Amino acid sequence: MIRQPANLLIGSALLIFIGGMAIIALFWTPYDPAAIKLIARLKPPSAQFWLGTDEFGRDVVSRLMAGAVQSMTVAILTVVFAITLGTITGLIAGYTRGLVDRILMVFSDALLAFPGTLLALGLMVISGPNKYGIILALGIAYAPSVLRIVRASVLSAREREYVEASRVIGNSEFTTMFRHVLPNCTAPIVVLATSMFGWVVLAESGLSFLGLGVPPPAPTWGNMLSAARTYIEKAPWLGLAPGICISLTLLGINLLGDALRDRFDPRTEQR
């Protein structure tokens, strides 16, 4: 269990760094991330421009910071939406059983037949490239995974003694479901939420790379990578900077997710 504190510390430190960069960008950036200065286009990293400038003379550091705001906002709202939708439907399916359970599971299985990013890509084609379209598309794509995990936890929890005790003292099924069953399903939901955060960051970057994400000139790490393709040999820093930010975010999320999984899984105590 020596690795758990290390994973937790390193993962938390990386996420604090990325999150801090996004918070600072809300109030300050070295330059205006949207300001075009053609006289300074494709400048290499220097004391004036720490990570250089892009094809329009915009400061890469400023755009990275502003892109962190967009990426973190999309990731957080998508995870909240997917977890909320999946938890409510999974709770209802697992607790009520019967016809409602079968209908929800058939619908969930139909959505799970498509890879999450591919399903989101199809939904984005319909809604068009915009931030809230990404949140809706990715939320719908990832909610079935939450539904299945919550349902499995509820199926186990609903047979416990405290559920019967809640019914005996006169609590309604609604009260029993949300007050007594749901709190005992939070551990797998928390672990899944951390993993899903990384999936969403990667998927949002991929959709933005394909031109289906947050539309320019608003910076995101994905559309910065997409714009850097043309200048990959002449200005490699344009692709390296957002790529490193995405990698650090995914690394931090994975390390934190491993630490939380080890924390909530009692079987790891025996390793």
Helix axes 98-112, 60-96, angle to 10 degrees: 150
Residue 68 near residue 21, CB atoms below 8 Å: yes
Residues 6+ apart with CB under 8 A from 225: 205, 208, 209, 239, 242, 243
Say what the pLDDT of residue 3 is: 56
225 sits in which H/E element: helix 221-228
C-alpha distances in Å from residue 212, one per residue of 31, 68, 69, 124, 133: 26, 18, 18, 7, 9
Question: Residue ranges of the domains in the chain?
Answer: 55-264
| pTM of the full structure | 0.87
Task: Give me the tens of pLDDT residue by residue for the chain, a chain 271 residues long.
Answer: 445 678 889 989 999 999 999 999 999 999 999 888 888 888 888 888 899 899 899 999 999 999 999 989 999 999 999 999 999 999 988 888 888 889 988 988 888 888 777 888 888 777 777 888 889 889 998 999 999 999 988 888 777 777 778 777 877 777 778 787 888 888 888 888 988 998 899 888 888 888 788 887 888 898 898 888 888 888 888 989 999 999 999 999 988 888 887 777 655 444 4
End-to-end Cα distance, the chain: 7
CA 163 to chain centre: 33
Strand partners, 43: none
Say what the pLDDT of residue 250 is: 92
What span, in angstroms and rounded, lies between the C-alpha atoms of 75 and 47? 32
Say what the pLDDT of residue 271 is: 46
Say what the pLDDT of residue 265 is: 62
Residues 6+ apart with CB under 8 A from 165: none
Strand partners, 59: 53
CATH for the stretch 55-264: 1.10.3720.10
Could you tell me the two tokens for 65?
A: 């910071």
